[in-house]
């Protein structure tokens, strides 16, 4: 038989944002108890007093999820470097037989333009190129016959260099992306390699994104 405490714990663990907010004391426990009361009663198939749900919430202990969060916070304090690049554009093309040939031509040009930022990402039916907006003329010339799905300008990229052990710690990317979601920051693109993680955002969001990452780097619970 499921107890009130078990029912409350199961419900809270389904909502990581709520669980973390509770841990950080950002949620009014009584308000939360009133909100989840109908679901707890439906699960237990009987009427439950609000005070019993409040007590069950207050008795919750940090779960494995939150212990992982603490480990990630400690890890993020060892971030090696954060690099910001502005003046970028994101081109998305429909896949074609000629697209790779055009991409190779672009790379050949970039050999003589070392200051140009450029990165590629490929899906099943489309390919994106994020590149310095100053290379706009060359992009339009090289890919003029390709089907252009979208072009977004006024973008910035924030690249985070991660310690090598990042591949051994689950949830690092989720933790960063969750914090960005809490701040209401829209991500245009996410690019990762083994030890680098790049967030592409609108220029208007770059200062807020950088400040958030620096807070994560310095944060201590």
Q: Does residue 85 sit within a domain? A: yes
Give me the domain span that covers residue 115: 81-218
Asked if 194 and 100 count as a contact pair (C-beta separation under 8 A), the reply is no
Q: Classify residue 26 as exposed, middle or buried by CB count within 10 Å of its CB (0-12, 13-18, 19+).
A: exposed
52 with 89, same domain: the answer is no
For residue 188, give the CATH number of its domain.
3.30.2130.10
pLDDT for res 52: 95
SS3 string, 44-86, reads HCCCCCHHHHHHHHHCCCCCHHHHHHHHHHHHHCCCCEEEEEE
100 with 169, same domain: the answer is yes
Q: Does residue 69 sit within a domain? A: no
87 with 151, same domain: the answer is yes
pLDDT tens track for 3-33: 999 999 888 877 766 777 787 778 899 999 9
Q: Does residue 204 sit within a domain? A: yes
Q: Does residue 72 sit within a domain? A: no
pLDDT for res 162: 76
pLDDT for res 221: 46
85 with 137, same domain: the answer is yes
Q: Classify residue 73 as exposed, middle or buried by CB count within 10 Å of its CB (0-12, 13-18, 19+).
A: middle
Q: Does residue 28 sit within a domain? A: yes
pLDDT by 10s per residue, the chain, length 221 = 789 999 998 888 777 667 777 877 788 999 999 999 999 999 999 999 999 999 999 888 766 555 556 666 666 666 658 889 999 999 999 999 899 999 999 999 998 888 899 999 888 899 999 999 999 999 999 999 999 999 999 999 999 887 776 556 666 777 788 889 888 999 999 998 888 889 999 999 999 999 988 887 765 54
pLDDT for res 30: 93
95 with 178, same domain: the answer is yes
pLDDT for res 166: 57
114 with 150, same domain: the answer is yes
pLDDT for res 169: 64
Q: Does residue 136 sit within a domain? A: yes
Asked if 32 and 57 count as a contact pair (C-beta separation under 8 A), the reply is yes
Coil, strand or helix at 173: helix
Q: Which residues contact 4 (CB under 8 A, 6 or more apart)?
A: 40, 44, 48, 52, 53, 56
Place of tokens 């950002």: 26
CA-CA distance, 191 to 193, in Å (whole number)?
7
104 with 43, same domain: the answer is no
Place of tokens 């470097």: 81
User: What burial letters (b/e) apply to 101-134, b meaning 16+ CB within 10 Å?
Assistant: ebbeebeeebeeeeeebbbebeeeeebbbbbbee
Which tokens is 120 given? 């590629």
94 with 40, same domain: the answer is no
């Amino acid at each position: 038989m499921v107890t009130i405490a078990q029912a409350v714990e199961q419900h809270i663990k389904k909502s990581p944002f709520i669980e973390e907010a509770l841990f950080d004391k950002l949620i009014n426990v009584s308000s939360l108890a009133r909100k989840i009361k109908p679901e707890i009663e439906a699960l237990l198939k009987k009427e439950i007093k609000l005070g019993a749900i409040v007590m069950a919430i207050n008795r919750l202990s940090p779960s494995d999820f939150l212990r992982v969060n603490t480990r990630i916070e400690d890890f993020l304090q060892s971030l090696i470097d954060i690099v910001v690049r502005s003046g970028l554009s994101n081109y998305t093309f429909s896949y074609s037989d000629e697209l790779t040939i055009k991409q190779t031509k672009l790379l050949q040009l970039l050999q003589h333009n070392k200051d140009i930022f450029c990165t590629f990402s490929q899906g099943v039916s489309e390919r994106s190129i994020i590149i310095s907006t100053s290379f706009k003329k060359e992009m339009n010339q090289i890919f003029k016959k390709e089907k252009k799905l979208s072009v977004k300008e006024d973008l910035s990229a924030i690249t985070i260099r991660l310690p090598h052990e990042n591949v051994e710690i689950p949830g690092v990317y989720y933790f960063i992306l969750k914090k960005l979601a809490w701040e209401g920051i829209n991500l245009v693109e996410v690019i990762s390699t083994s030890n680098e993680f790049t967030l592409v955002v609108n220029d208007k969001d770059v200062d807020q994104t950088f400040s958030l990452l620096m807070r994560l780097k310095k944060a201590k619970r």
